[in-house]
Structure 1
Amino acid sequence: MIPTNTTPSRFKLFIAFFAVYVIWGITYLAALFGLESMKPFVLSSLRYLTAGCLLSAWILIRKLRWPSGKDIGILSV
Structure 2
Amino acid sequence: MKNRLREFREKYGLTQEELARILGVTRQTIIAIEKGKYDPSLRLAFKIARFFGVRIEDIFIYEEELTPRGDNR
**TM tier, shorter chain?**
under 0.3
- Structure with the greater relative contact order (CA < 8 A, sep ≥ 6): 1 or 2? 2
Q: As a proportion of its length, which structure holds more strand?
A: 2
> TM-score if structure 2 supplies the norm length?
0.27
Q: Which has the larger radius of gyration?
A: 1
Q: As a proportion of its length, which structure holds more helix?
A: 1
> TM-score if structure 1 supplies the norm length?
0.26
